[in-house]
Structure 1
Amino acid sequence: MTRTIFNWLLRALALATLLALAAAGLAYYLASHSLPDYDASYRLDDAPGEIEIVRDNYAVPHIFADNDAAVLFGLGFVHAQDRLWQMALSRRVAQGRLSELFGERTVEVDHLMRALDIYDIARRTADAQTDEVKAQLQAYADGVNAYIDLVRRDALGRGAPEFFLFEPEIAPWTPADSIAVMKAMGLRLTDKAAKEALRAALSLRLEPERVADILPEAPGAVVALPDYAGSLSVPRWQSAAAPAEPNPLSPERPVGLAGASNAFAAMPGRAAAGASLLATDPHLGLSAPGPMYLARLELQAGGVIGATIPGIPSILMGRNENVAWGLTSSYLDDQDIYIERLDPENPDRYETPEGMRPFRTRESVIQIDGAPPRTVPLRWTRHGPVIPAPHFSAAQITPRGHVAALAWTGFETDDRSIEAALGIMRAGSVDEVLELAEIYHAPSQNIVVADAETVALRAMGRAPRRLPEHDSQGRIPAAGWVARNDWQGYMDPADNPGATNPEGGIVVNTNNRTTDAPFPAHWSFDWGDTQRIQRAERLLNSREFHTLDSFIEIQNDTISPAARNLLPLIARNLWYQGEPAAQNTVGRQRQIALEALAKWNGEMSQHSFEPLVFTAWVRALQRRLVIDELGPLADRFARPDPLFLERVYRDVDGAAAWCDIRQSDTVETCQDMARLALDSALLELSESYGDRIDSWRWGAAHTAEHKHEVLGDVPLLGWLVNIRQETPGGDTTLRRGQTRGRGPTPYANVHASVFRAVVDFADPESSVFITSTGQSGHVLSRHYDDQALLWRRGEYISMALDPAVARGGAVGITRLRPGGAGGGLGGAGPSPAPQ
């Protein structure tokens, strides 16, 4: 009997194994059909001319045609070939239609996007463009749709493996879709609304000077914080709970995880070869595939090569034959939260300076996979949309009988940002770029630009004009019924901060402060960096002449200025105490750690243990300093802030008060807190990595997580689609690798450069670039992650406009030709009918 049962179990196991292998084989067979053929020819009715697409060794498309419409058609075609799922997902985000695929878990994201009305604004913005811009947007959309039609008619595996798991229908791409993707990206690049709400929540728990400690502003910009509780009658201690982190698919960014970047340029007089140099590396949340896609376009104005975002028909960073440019987030204060007071007689109205006014309202139905549709009310005020809870944490600081509304520069429909982007890639000089920068609207960026003779830095985007007597100055939510708090239009873009050919011959931005102008010409009270700029300025000024190699070295620098600044402060009373300690005790581990840190130069090498000890120490230290004052809000400060810690340990304006635990009878000193935090960090690391400190490695903890936005958390599939790498760098290094700060992997690298480029006008064809993953969004493609290893090593690929370079290592050539609905060319299947 036992033998019989064993035999049946063995047969069942064998059958299950065979079925699993068959299922895997079928899945592979179906998924492989969506791998694009880079070596094919097609006749397409909508093609505006003959198009040749040469794929170089890394599958970067070099697109050649006789007219610009055909080139942009080709760009749309290759974006769809390689990133169709990513494009479809980006469009669904902007439309507020994620829940049709993902069910209940994305309803709040859809509610937010519909409340903000992003897609309708994008449609109206598209309608407001010039005829020339409309034609370019349409040519790009035609190229996307040509590939979508190929997928449908030639059964090309639905275009991407993900479409086998979710709804395979793909609506035609439209010009409004490209602008919607751009506006959704704009939301990802700002955290000003969230910062206002956080500062208000802190003001309900802390004294104003303590708020200035924990949310420090750039040095030199300290201004008294308005009384939020008093001005809006908000009860103190109202905000008790820390809000949940936004859904990963949401464009809403938590404080500290909006856009970041580095960009710098040297004039010919500071370059060894006598011609300008430029480097750029934007920082965004890591994903697989990455957000950037490389392309080379042969326009009538000449060749241009660099980084694009699938869905947007422009080289956003890169170079043409005469000009190179890079972008950094400017940290413009482009959002304000307004607290609107409801009419106590009629909650469908709210108070304005002229009296009560009705909300502009409508209802929207969200279709939800696996659940009944949900109808959500949407309301707009004269300032902007009412923010649905829980977004931007606004509900937590909104008093009863009020609602919070959002004002944002991205809501304007006369936005000409896409026109500027299309024009910049054709510009012939720095002056032309700066002229186009003045019509750029949102999201606000700093553009660093160079030609052979000139370099410049200029902030782009419309800056809200606030009155000097504005109640909150945009630092905390303001009363919406008070006229002096209203925006007064926008500042003149000619007055945006910037510099051209500065005396020192170098321009640089790391999201640091760009102007000392007082409010209301201040641009922002909150900046994205106070640390990286110290290192950048030191390296750029440490040598008289720069080269391509020195710019590459600076771009990949992993020295932490925060470590160099903080260690002498927090360890000064611990380093040389010389307390005897036996082996295998906490005291002995502390001695080993302190002795190593005393010799450490701050380099965040993936092979060293010192970066791990330092990062864990300051993380534990900040937690100990804030937990008693902030309670649940302490989770919002899981990632240590060097300015806060420096204020505490220098006792700036009495900031050392944070070291005393309010609930204890004794008075703790900052030295006590430093020692306890170090012991706590060492215990945490010992539990995770073993007892031997010298066996720990920063890279093992600081793993870059390029996670698939949808499948990354699915068991087994996540292992297949995610890209994980040990990386150097840290929160404040020029080669930035921002840590998660919380959860089971608090030191994981989740926000870093997604594109790097260095351009040398002495020999433009020697210029280099790299992205964080690869060109393809298809997990079975070798180009899904073939740039990732180079990216981790700080290496690059060629950035040549010479067609011979691309052809020399081509992995395929695609030819698109206008024609009827006959067969394809060169062995291709039937040609698609027009859309």
Structure 2
Amino acid sequence: MARSRSLKHTAWATGAVLVGALVSGTAPAPADTGGQQASGQTPSHAVVIKRDEHGVPHVYADDTRGLFHGFGYTVAEDRLYQLEMARRSGNGTVAEVLGPDFVPVDIATRSNVDPASIRRQLKALSAEDRAMFDGYASGINARLREVRQDPESLLPREFVDNGFEPQAWSGEDVALLWVGLILNRFFSSSAEVANLQLRQDLVAANGEELGGRIYDQLRWTEDPTAPTIVPRADGGAEGGADGGADGGKGATAPRAADLPAISPGAVDDFRTMQGARTGLADPDERPTASYAWALAPEHTAEGVAVLHNGPQQGFYTPSFVSGIGLHGAGYDLTGYTPVGLPAVLFGTNGKIAWGSTVGSLDTNDVYAEQLDPDDPHRYLYDGRYRDMAKRTDLIRVKGADPRHLDVYATEHGFVQSWDEANDRAYTLRTSWRGREIETLVGWAEAAKAQDWEQYLDQASRVSASITWFYADVEGNIGVAGLGRLPRRPAGQDFRFPARGDGTMEWQGSEPFDANPRAYNPTQGYLASWNNQIAPGLRADNANFSQVDRVNEIHGEVAAAGLDGAQIWDVTRTTTRADLNARYFVPMITAAAAGLPADDPRRQAADLLAGWDRQLTTTDGRTYDHPGTTLVRAWLTATARRVLADDLPAHVFARYQSLGYPALTAQGSPGSIRPAPVSAVLWNALSGDRSGVPQTVDFLDGAAPADVVLAGLTDAVADLRARFGEDPDQWRTPVVAHRFSRFNAIGVPWAGSDQPQTPAYLNRGTLDFQVELRPGGVEMCSVAAPGQSGFVAPDGDRAPHSLDQLALFEDFGCKADHLTPGAVDAHLESERTLRY
């Protein structure tokens, strides 16, 4: 306690460093006063904050600034340390307080953000829209003033442990958190460099013709058997067509001469940068976050529309999202959103409900810039070499000398990696660049929509790729694929980096009407688990396939007449499903059907036939059924038989991951799906029935059933050697569900404790469900571990920091209170702020 007591006498206002100062090298801007007038007068505007029995705050105010002042204040009450680390994650100042290990994170963040552009966008906002950012910041600052007055009680323990102090906020900080932590993580991935390397390696090993065909079977562009969010029976899209939705990317087979050669070092640098920015273990993949289902009235027992959404943004302590009610200034909502965002991404306003899953529209391109051999900071464009734009940032590092970072950019975007051997640089272009703030404001104001058309009006403002779900009290349901779709030249192969010499420039963008959508589909429901949104809509980093986890959802919600409890309970079976079993267990049982009953392979197949394909555990140590052990062994053995002789060893190594959960140093994985090898094997074993043409026979002339049986033979032999002859002993250890103290990009934002439940659940960071009865909307949710992240200087946790863990583990939910009367009936506390 002595250390925290000394903080009370520290000059808290000194040393505050805002992002603009770091970028430009100028002195820090004055701290936002949080509403305190310069004359010293106390502002007279009132904000009322009421918290319910789970600590969820409801803010009541008459104007936008006051409403968001209250919003920011409540988040700072619950999550001050997490806010600080989210801000630093977003503006690239983590190393300043945590030391040299986080310099790569800061470099990755700053290398894909333009603070000057963000300032221009903020300046161009209307006073009403700007009030959202400034009000949110002023609310945080109001809480900071309270903490300064009583640090012994109110300063979160993590600041004490790490030896630094929270700093004042500005509206720019709020904006940069959105750009650096959310847009950079979820919306800036690309596999074009990885695709180029893969094709290059396959061609080197097999020659141009065969290597190209193998590549096409590993990274296909379209599988007509893949499930789509917009139902195929509804014609693909309400307002979009395959060609328009594809953004003009024709996938013509490239020749080696058409593609740039890339060195391994340039690939590694690109992957390192992308991995640091996204926090993904495999930086070549996009974040695969979130599921949703919307049911029309004719499909539900009560005859009302229902929306269920489970954004999978990772599992953290405290949660990545927190609850909020906003009432006033045109808003009347209850929902959830990531910490530090003023836009409420998931919720209801009593007329409509909204949610989202990650988008599959291709809004990013990598460009291969040809460099001047005499000057690597000049690039060829429109027939002449041009100077790259350059910005020099200072990265302050705790316990070490500061680092100067030169950030270079071309016409297309920021340089992500350099290839000195080939005189090239690789830049990343995103269609949302320059529209970051418009995207956030559109998302925020969608919460005011009263119907589908008003909802789409705001959706049209969103440039980043995201899939929005909708339901309303009139019984309508809908989905739309958002994102500003570039018009690309016909000669550009969307799978690989484009030429940066000016010959592959975007030719404007598609109108929003071209984006895929569906409204009241004939099948009576919509479902997504990050699958393909519409036929023909392709992306460089998504092998959409018939093997898709969304089929687990379809298998549950396709039945009509589900009541609210049954709709909620879909999470119980979908999120515990072995995601490979649906596809391969029938193959295995069919292949073994002719074997004698006492053959160990037949016994193993019969064991699979009686399995419910669920990853359940009774003892908390191993999964109850050996089926998952057998499926995993079969996949490993069959992949070796089918692919090892066709792929270079280092390429085959990438196809040995099976997509099952595993604990990492940072906690549980956020979202599990079938691994790429599962789809490749499915296609090979399906032969002529595959949606992807099999021009290379990975089976080497063998019958598919024989290959399946051979894989079973290997798997059974392996398991008997490891576990013994009794199949009941073939048990896989349970993977615990751990809530990480690291945030989405691997930055610590809590203490050393990492709460966990016994078994990993492939479910939402948040799960919420809205039943839209015309006479009264109801919503329930769970966002484990709890609403608050506050840990007092003495180590005591806030009461609502862990109170949703049991609900999460047991697939329960808590009621959300949507009306003033309901909030008052469940009131835990109330206070009034002045601003």
Q: Same fold (TM over 0.5)?
A: yes
Q: In the alignment, does 2:671 pair up with 1:644?
A: no
Distance of 1:221 and 1:234 partners within structure 2: 34
Distance of 2:314 and 2:374 partners within structure 1: 46
1:213-263 deviation per Cα after TM superposition (whole angstroms, max 9, x unaligned): 333445139986643743235279999989977798743542445042222
Structure 2 unaligned blocks of 5 or more: 8-33, 203-210, 227-249, 619-623, 660-674, 792-796
Distance of 2:92 and 2:459 partners within structure 1: 30
Residue equivalent to 1:9 = none
Q: 1:144 aligns with which of 140, 144, 148?
A: 140
How far does residue 158 in structure 1 lie from its aligned partner after superposition? Answer: 6.3
* RMSD between superposed Cα atoms in Å: 3.8
Distance of 2:463 and 2:189 partners within structure 1: 17
Q: In the alignment, does 2:617 pair up with 1:617?
A: no
Distance of 2:128 and 2:542 partners within structure 1: 38
User: SS of 1:368's equivalent?
Assistant: coil
Q: 1:344 aligns with which of 370, 373, 385?
A: 373
Distance of 1:27 and 1:238 partners within structure 2: 46
Q: 1:126 aligns with which of 106, 122, 125?
A: 122
> Kindly tell me: are residues 163 and 239 of structure 1, through their superposed partners in 2, closer, same or farther at Cα, counting changes over 3 Å?
closer
How far does residue 404 in structure 1 lie from its aligned partner after superposition? Answer: 0.6
Residue equivalent to 2:771 = 760
Aligned residues: 731
Q: In the alignment, does 2:514 pair up with 1:514?
A: no
How far does residue 764 in structure 1 lie from its aligned partner after superposition? Answer: 4.1
How far does residue 416 in structure 1 lie from its aligned partner after superposition? Answer: 1.0
> Contact 2:396/2:402 (CA < 8 Å) preserved in 1?
yes
1:449-479 deviation per Cα after TM superposition (whole angstroms, max 9, x unaligned): 4343322111122112212222x2x211121
1:327-356 deviation per Cα after TM superposition (whole angstroms, max 9, x unaligned): 111111121111111112332211112321
Q: 1:372 aligns with which of 389, 398, 401?
A: 401
- Letter of the aligned partner of 1:215 in structure 2? R
> Kindly tell me: are residues 240 and 423 of structure 1, through their superposed partners in 2, closer, same or farther at Cα, counting changes over 3 Å?
closer
Residue equivalent to 1:577 = 595
User: SS of 1:220's equivalent?
Assistant: coil
Q: 1:478 aligns with which of 491, 498, 514?
A: 498
> Contact 1:379/1:385 (CA < 8 Å) preserved in 2?
yes
Q: 1:262 aligns with which of 277, 284, 291?
A: 291
User: SS of 2:481's equivalent?
Assistant: strand
> Kindly tell me: are residues 310 and 719 of structure 1, through their superposed partners in 2, closer, same or farther at Cα, counting changes over 3 Å?
closer
Q: Where in structure 2 are the equivalents of 1:251-290 lying within 5 Å?
A: 251=278, 253=280, 254-256=283-285, 258-290=287-319
Q: Where in structure 2 are the equivalents of 1:270-669 lying within 5 Å?
A: 270-301=299-330, 303-388=332-417, 400-413=422-435, 415-470=437-492, 472=493, 474-483=494-503, 485-517=504-536, 526-527=543-544, 531-543=548-560, 545-558=561-574, 559-560=577-578, 562-570=580-588, 572-574=590-592, 577-578=595-596, 593-607=604-618, 608-610=624-626, 612-614=628-630, 616-617=632-633, 620-621=636-637, 624=640, 626=643, 629-637=647-655, 638=657, 639=659, 640-641=675-676, 642-651=678-687, 653-654=693-694, 657-658=697-698
Distance of 1:296 and 1:423 partners within structure 2: 15
How far does residue 293 in structure 1 lie from its aligned partner after superposition? Answer: 0.4
User: SS of 1:701's equivalent?
Assistant: coil
> Contact 1:234/1:399 (CA < 8 Å) preserved in 2?
no
Q: 1:777 aligns with which of 779, 789, 792?
A: 789
Distance of 2:89 and 2:581 partners within structure 1: 39
Distance of 1:234 and 1:714 partners within structure 2: 35
Q: 2:817 aligns with which of 787, 795, 800?
A: 800
> Contact 2:278/2:744 (CA < 8 Å) preserved in 1?
no
Distance of 1:164 and 1:228 partners within structure 2: 59
> Kindly tell me: are residues 290 and 119 of structure 1, through their superposed partners in 2, closer, same or farther at Cα, counting changes over 3 Å?
farther
Structure 1 unaligned blocks of 5 or more: 1-24, 32-41, 390-394, 582-587, 662-667, 730-736, 738-751, 819-835
Q: 1:708 aligns with which of 733, 741, 744?
A: 741
Distance of 2:397 and 2:347 partners within structure 1: 40
> Kindly tell me: are residues 681 and 196 of structure 1, through their superposed partners in 2, closer, same or farther at Cα, counting changes over 3 Å?
farther
User: SS of 2:294's equivalent?
Assistant: strand
- Letter of the aligned partner of 2:779 in structure 1? S
- Letter of the aligned partner of 2:755 in structure 1? I
User: SS of 2:827's equivalent?
Assistant: coil
Q: In the alignment, does 2:828 pair up with 1:811?
A: yes
How far does residue 576 in structure 1 lie from its aligned partner after superposition? Answer: 5.2
How far does residue 691 in structure 1 lie from its aligned partner after superposition? Answer: 8.9
Distance of 1:317 and 1:714 partners within structure 2: 24
> Kindly tell me: are residues 242 and 467 of structure 1, through their superposed partners in 2, closer, same or farther at Cα, counting changes over 3 Å?
closer
Distance of 1:713 and 1:89 partners within structure 2: 11
Distance of 1:461 and 1:727 partners within structure 2: 36
Distance of 1:655 and 1:30 partners within structure 2: 72
Q: Where in structure 2 are the equivalents of 1:15-164 lying within 5 Å?
A: 49-156=45-152, 159-164=155-160
Distance of 2:392 and 2:738 partners within structure 1: 39
Distance of 1:221 and 1:382 partners within structure 2: 39
Residue equivalent to 2:17 = none
> Contact 2:313/2:764 (CA < 8 Å) preserved in 1?
yes
> Kindly tell me: are residues 227 and 217 of structure 1, through their superposed partners in 2, closer, same or farther at Cα, counting changes over 3 Å?
closer
How far does residue 28 in structure 1 lie from its aligned partner after superposition? Answer: 11
> Contact 2:223/2:544 (CA < 8 Å) preserved in 1?
no
Residue equivalent to 1:189 = 186
Distance of 2:810 and 2:186 partners within structure 1: 27
> Kindly tell me: are residues 525 and 563 of structure 1, through their superposed partners in 2, closer, same or farther at Cα, counting changes over 3 Å?
closer
Distance of 1:342 and 1:84 partners within structure 2: 45
> Kindly tell me: are residues 766 and 114 of structure 1, through their superposed partners in 2, closer, same or farther at Cα, counting changes over 3 Å?
closer
Distance of 1:224 and 1:678 partners within structure 2: 42
> Contact 1:47/1:70 (CA < 8 Å) preserved in 2?
no
Distance of 2:438 and 2:149 partners within structure 1: 36
- Letter of the aligned partner of 1:349 in structure 2? R
How far does residue 67 in structure 1 lie from its aligned partner after superposition? Answer: 3.5
Distance of 1:630 and 1:242 partners within structure 2: 22
Residue equivalent to 2:753 = 721
> Contact 2:296/2:524 (CA < 8 Å) preserved in 1?
yes
- Letter of the aligned partner of 2:141 in structure 1? N
Residue equivalent to 2:714 = 676
> Contact 1:532/1:561 (CA < 8 Å) preserved in 2?
yes
Distance of 1:466 and 1:420 partners within structure 2: 25
- Letter of the aligned partner of 2:500 in structure 1? G
1:505-549 deviation per Cα after TM superposition (whole angstroms, max 9, x unaligned): 323332222222478xx8996559952333333433322x34322
Distance of 1:192 and 1:529 partners within structure 2: 23
> Kindly tell me: are residues 372 and 459 of structure 1, through their superposed partners in 2, closer, same or farther at Cα, counting changes over 3 Å?
same
Q: 1:209 aligns with which of 188, 213, 229?
A: 213
How many percent identity over aligned positions?
22
How far does residue 426 in structure 1 lie from its aligned partner after superposition? Answer: 1.7
User: SS of 1:382's equivalent?
Assistant: coil
Distance of 2:720 and 2:54 partners within structure 1: 43
> Contact 1:125/1:179 (CA < 8 Å) preserved in 2?
no
How far does residue 806 in structure 1 lie from its aligned partner after superposition? Answer: 3.2
User: SS of 1:410's equivalent?
Assistant: coil
